[in-house]
Amino acid sequence: MSGSGTKRILAVAGARPNFMKIGPLLRELRDRPGFETYLVHTGQHYDQAMSGGFFEELGIAEPDANLGVGSGTHASMTADVLRAMEPILIEQKPDALLVVGDVNSTLAATLAAVKLGIPVAHVEAGLRSFDRGMPEEINRILTDSVSHWLFVTEPAGEENLAREGIDPTRVHRSGNVMIDTLTANAEKARAQDTLARLGLEAGGYAVLTLHRPSNVDDPAHLRALFEALEEIHQRIPLVFPIHPRTAAAVEERLGGRKPSMMLLPPQGYLDFLCLMASARMVLTDSGGIQEETTVLGVPCLTLRDNTERPITVEQGTNRLVGRDPETIRNEAFKILDGPAPEGRVPDLWDGSAARRIVDVLERDLAR
Ligand code: UD1
């Protein structure tokens, strides 16, 4: 613990979907005199397109330390972060560790901290897909089970944690920090020239993202999925910013055949937000994109059998369409032919989640 009344928070980010979540939290902490922050980038994502660009666009200060773990198997990545975090935690002596999301870096940093007696605040706690074949589900369950503060985005998160026997006084429904970033950047994103540069018209295209092992790892499934997507592309241009994991899978598993969709490299935050905001629909297997389209009011088809974010289906514009290629094509055609599904923005997804979270930390750490 720091000697003065100032509380020291060590924040961790590692992979692309972490950066837009940690940004508003760091800003809120740095705006308050009672806190000092130290940011560790684990280096799970490391190139400009997947990492560096987001720090610049989102105005996140340079990390104080970069562990440089890079890609690898789940075990080696998790072990590398765990081993590299320990000396930093011992040296920095934070009053709390702040982690977001469900990536390998989230779990590894959490484990290193709790073993040193450092309390962990987990932002985006309680989400469950109930699919233990998903690496993220394991990360979620384990991180939540040892965290001191659990900040949840939707009521299902509270129910899941209660079922797992987590003390309810540790659970706080605080809203969605990813939406804090969206709210703060929406106007800037809409002013981007992304559409003109790509020769697209608002409402005249759909956006596709794919990276989950369940969609891209099996060659036969990937081929069938791409046939259905290409049929959709015949009716509306599909803009496909391609994740490095998917690019590698497509090259290896489609036998050298180039997909006909509009392939783009991974996009920056503002370009991607601009693309989503004006799309006729979004097809995705991402978690965060289900939430962002709900707030943007853009129809979203989720190409998975489950979602850990049920509120996006219950209240938002998201539909869970599974992995069957024919069903995916039919559901996409329904959106093109029919009225767009309407939704509403869930409670507390209002741009102020980081403020609520830091209020709780400030109160509890002063005790
Ligand atoms: C990770 C997260 C996933 C998240 C996704 C978002 C876990 C378990 N998974 O999965 O939850 O939705 O990030 O992107 O933590 N690569 C690059 N450049 C980079 C990073 C990776 O080219 O900056 C390549 C690597 O060669 C690697 C592949 O992308 O093989 C996949 O990266 P990896 O971090 O292993 O997992 P993701 O599938 O991205």
Ligand 1 lined by 304 (C-beta under 6 Å): no
Report which ligand 1 atom has the smallest distance to the Cα of 288: 12
Q: Residue 1 has what pLDDT? A: 45
Based on the fold, state whether residues 297 and 211 are members of the same structural domain.
yes
The pLDDT of residue 341 is above 90: no
User: Does residue 342 lie within any of the structural domains?
Assistant: no
Measured distance CA(137)–CA(107) in Å, rounded:
11
Q: Tens of pLDDT along 86-117? A: 999 999 999 999 999 999 999 999 999 999 99
User: How far away, in angstroms, is 287 Cα from ligand 1 center?
Assistant: 14
Q: Which residues pair with 120 in a beta bridge?
A: 97
Whether residue 344 has pLDDT greater than 60: yes
104 with 34, same domain?
yes
Residues 297 and 159 reside in one and the same domain: no
How far is CA 293 from each of CA 105, 196, 341, rounded to the nearest angstrom? 26, 21, 12
The reply to whether 23 and 152 lie within a common domain is yes
Residue 274 has pLDDT above 60, yes or no: yes
User: Does the Cβ of 15 fall within 6 Å of ligand 1?
Assistant: yes
Q: What are the pLDDT digits (tens) for 32-57?
A: 999 999 999 999 999 999 999 999 99
Q: Which of 3-7, 246-250, 345-349 has the lowest mean pLDDT?
A: 3-7
Tell whether 87 is covered by a domain: yes
pLDDT recorded at residue 3: 47
| Residues recognised as catalytic | 211
Same domain, 25 and 126: yes
Q: Indicate which residue's Cα is closest to atom 38 of ligand 1.
A: 245
Predicted confidence at residue 255, as pLDDT, reads 81
What is the atom index within ligand 1 of the atom nearest the CA of 213? 38
Q: Is residue 260 part of a domain?
A: yes
Same-domain pairing of 151 and 14:
yes
Residues 215 and 263 in one domain: yes
CA distance 273 to 289: 10
User: Is the shortest distance between the CB of 16 and ligand 1 below 6 Å?
Assistant: yes
The answer on 204 and 151 residing in a single domain is: no
pLDDT at 340: 82
Indicate whether 138 and 26 sit together in one domain. Answer: yes
225 with 293, same domain? Answer: yes
CATH number, residue 167: 3.40.50.2000
3-state secondary structure of 149: strand
- The answer to whether 210 touches 243, Cβ cutoff 8 Å, is yes
User: pLDDT digit string (tens) for 124-177?
Assistant: 999 999 999 999 999 999 999 999 999 999 999 999 999 999 999 999 999 999
Number of domains in the chain: 2
Same domain, 193 and 227: yes
**In whole angstroms, what is the distance from residue 113 CA to residue 109 CA?**
6
Rounded CA gap, 28 and 11, in Å?
12
Is residue 2 situated within a structural domain?
no
Model confidence band, residue 4 (pLDDT cutoffs 50, 70, 90): low
Domain annotation covers residue 343:
no
Pick the residue whose CA is nearest to atom 24 on ligand 1: 244
Examine residue 138 and state whether it is found in any structural domain, yes or no.
yes
Read off the tokens for 287: 């978690």
Summarised one tens digit per residue, pLDDT across range 306-332 is 999 999 999 999 999 999 999 999 999
Q: Is residue 344 part of a domain?
A: no
Would you say the CB of residue 129 lies under 6 angstroms from ligand 1? no
On whether residue 1 sits in a domain, the answer given is no
Percent of the chain clearing pLDDT 90 (strictly above): 94
Provide the domain limits for residue 42.
Answer: 7-176+349-365
Residue to probe by mutation, ligand 1, list 12, 20, 44, 105, most atoms within 8 Å of CB: 44
Are residues 165 and 259 both part of a single domain? no
Residues with Cβ within 8 Å of residue 328, at least 6 apart in sequence: 225, 228, 229, 232, 283, 301, 303, 321, 322
Q: Does ligand 1 come within 6 angstroms of the Cβ of 52?
A: no
DSSP string of 63-113, one letter each residue: PSEE----S--HHHHHHHHHHHHHHHHHHH--SEEEEESSSHHHHHHHHHH
